[in-house]
Amino acid sequence: MKSKLLALVMTGLLVLGMLSGCGSTNKTSGESAEEAAQTGKETAENNNAADGDEMYHAVLVYVVAQDSQDQEKVNARFNELTKEQLNMEVTLMPMTFSTWGSQLPLMLAGGEQVDLFPMFSNNASTYVASDYLVDLTPYLEHAPYIVDLLGMDSISCCSIGDFIYGIPTMKERSMPNAMVMRTDCLEAAGIDPASVKTYEDITAAYEKVHALYPDMIMFGGSGSGTSAATPGGQSVSFDGLGQVVGTGVLEDYGQTTTVTNFYESDYFKYLVDTARDWYQKGYVAKDMATSIDGGEAQMRAGNLFSYMTNCKPNTKQEKDDQTGYDTTIVQIDKNVMTTGGINAISYGIGAGSPNPEKAMELLNWISQTKEANDLLNWGVEGIHWVETEDGTADYPEGVTSESCGYHQNMGYILPNQFNSHVWVGNEADIFEQYQEVDGKAVVSKAYGFTPDLTVVTDQIAAVTDVISQYIGQITTGSVDPEPAIEDFNQALYNAGLQDIIDAKQEQLDAWLAQQ
């Protein structure tokens, strides 16, 4: 049990760097809170008429950015709604990422009542194999809004075999690799920001900016961990088939059905050679391979020109806020639609739930009720936020980010952020923009396929250790690429990489044969 818990916590942490901000759209994003609440009330009244008047006590775990002094105010208003509309009393259990990653698995392993909770796709196989989850298939009839909103194709992305383990959250489905650059430095060097589109353009920009600011670091950020914020460490030019690293992937944005090792590919070597060129020219922070400081903090400190991130339509606004500079976002990878883009985060029902039907009704209600999503994310209207003239949310007069008693900005890990208010500073139609981008994305040939990785749990843990050991040094350009890549791949295969590739290929072939 301890090894399973350790493995799922480690793999869950892999996707933290990939997640951020808001997401795509749904057809009810413009629905008013009153309309959504009335819909939820009518549905609940019909359910309660059939089930009797006994109030159900539910437990909802959700992830927050920080603990809040006004949590009880959110709890109180949330329960006013659920008691009236669902005949339910809900215990809200907000958890920060660190608490969620360590405490939730223990709760599930102990069979505690957890009616609803979010999970990363990396953990799904372990949770299913450990009997932590309820198969949602027979309970979808209690979530008509969700089924209509998402469709069964998207819901089926959260399945292993015939077992549906979760309901995907409404978030951006495609987040390609991108470079964040200071616009003022580009303009000072006489570079049109719109002309920077490729790694070659970035290299040319470094040369000019470095000549003007020789003491400024051209490229920095965190190179530690398994997903170094580097061209080679953070590339999403493949379908990871249940993982966010390059061990057992479909290259070329999933336009092949042959599972390979990305770290042996020509493209990976090109990305590493590019970083090595930057490093030797003095563009890369010398300690980047071991740094744990993100690019946002380093740029805000004033001596960093660029760093890597994953982008979406409102990334510029986010990075401007986070760095304090006007930024230029250079998208490198294509937008690609994979199963991992859909099932990256989903809500499951714990096996300890005494009434999965009620749990599903609660999830359906949250998804369709605008005020519920606003409460979990922004707090109580009139206290923690107000609606502005353009329909976005902002702090009330006299309230700031420092003084506000509840403010999470964690919509992407809530059931349906698109049926909620957009925070001020973002374009009011940002959710529609996400949907437009997703609609134009390249679709992987394995879209809809989820491998069962429990058969290679030990190998994944061992391979993850190898990646952590090598990826920072290699992809920041800190070492000679040719021998380092050879040693890296040999260590991966010694740790069981071929078993992972074979398991994915066998399951993918079987899945393709059924399509």
The pLDDT of residue 188 is above 50: yes
Q: Which residues, 6 or more positions from 182, have their beta carbon under 8 angstroms from its beta carbon?
A: 299, 304, 305, 306, 323, 325, 326, 327, 328
Domains 2-18+30-173+341-436 and 174-336+449-515 share a fold: yes
Average pLDDT, the chain: 89
Burial of 310 (C-beta count, 10 Å sphere; 0-12/13-18/19+): buried
- Could you list the beta-strand ranges (E) of 159-238: 159-160, 163-164, 167-168, 177-182, 217-220
**Which tokens hold the place of 410?**
């964690």
Report which listed range, 15-24, 77-86, 288-297, 314-323, is most confident. 77-86
The pLDDT of residue 392 is above 60: yes
The pLDDT of residue 38 is above 80: no
From the options 3.20.20.20, 3.40.190.10, 3.30.565.10, 3.40.50.300, give the CATH code of 174-336+449-515: 3.40.190.10
Torsion, Cα of 280, 286, 291, 297 (10° steps): -100
pLDDT interval class at 30 (50, 70, 90) = very low
Report which listed range, 75-89, 166-180, 292-306, is most confident. 75-89
Checking DSSP bridges between strand 247-249 and strand 163-164, what pairing results, if any?
A: unpaired
β-pair partners for 345: 120
Contact 191, 369 (CB under 8 A): no
Q: Which of 221-225, 228-232, 378-382 has the lowest mean pLDDT?
A: 221-225
The predicted pLDDT at position 474 comes to 97
pTM given for the model: 0.75
Residue in the structure block whose two tokens are 């992987």: 444
Sequence ranges of the domains in the chain = 2-18+30-173+341-436, 174-336+449-515
Contact 89, 57 (CB under 8 A): yes
pLDDT interval class at 59 (50, 70, 90) = very high
Q: What percent of the chain has pLDDT over 70?
A: 90
The pLDDT of residue 499 is above 90: yes
Specify the length of the chain in residues. 515
Burial of 106 (C-beta count, 10 Å sphere; 0-12/13-18/19+): exposed
| DSSP-assigned states of every residue in 276-336 | HHHHHTT-B-TTTTT----HHHHHHTT-EEEEEEE--TTHHHHHHHHHSS-EEEEE-SPPE
The pLDDT of residue 251 is above 90: yes
Across 164-178, average pLDDT: 91
Residue in the structure block whose two tokens are 């090595």: 276
On the CB side of 140, CA atoms within 13 Å amount to 18
Give me the phi and psi of 309, to 5 degrees please. Answer: -150, 180
Quote the CA–CA distance of 205 and 219 in Å, as a whole number: 11
Pick left, alpha or beta for residue 311 (phi over 0 → left; psi -120 to 50 → alpha; otherwise beta).
Answer: beta
Give me the phi and psi of 292, to 5 degrees please. Answer: -110, 0
Contact 167, 158 (CB under 8 A): yes
The pLDDT of residue 301 is above 60: yes
Continuous segment of H or E residues that includes residue 14? none
Checking DSSP bridges between strand 56-63 and strand 442-443, what pairing results, if any?
A: unpaired
Q: pLDDT digit string (tens) for 343-355? A: 989 999 999 999 9
Burial of 455 (C-beta count, 10 Å sphere; 0-12/13-18/19+): middle
Q: pLDDT digit string (tens) for 454-471? A: 889 899 999 999 999 999
CA distance to 113, 235, 294, per residue, from 291 (Å): 40, 19, 8
From the options 3.20.20.70, 3.40.190.10, 2.60.120.680, 3.90.1570.10, give the CATH code of 2-18+30-173+341-436: 3.40.190.10
Across 394-405, average pLDDT: 94
Q: What 3-state DSSP class applies to 140? A: helix
The pLDDT of residue 369 is above 70: yes
The pLDDT of residue 52 is above 80: no
Q: What 3-state DSSP class applies to 444? A: coil
β-pair partners for 76: none
Residue in the structure block whose two tokens are 């925070």: 423
Q: What is the number of other CB atoms lying within 10 angstroms of the CB of residue 411?
A: 26
Instruction: Look at residues 140, 132, 230, 145 and name the one whose alpha carbon lies nearest to residue 473.
Output: 230
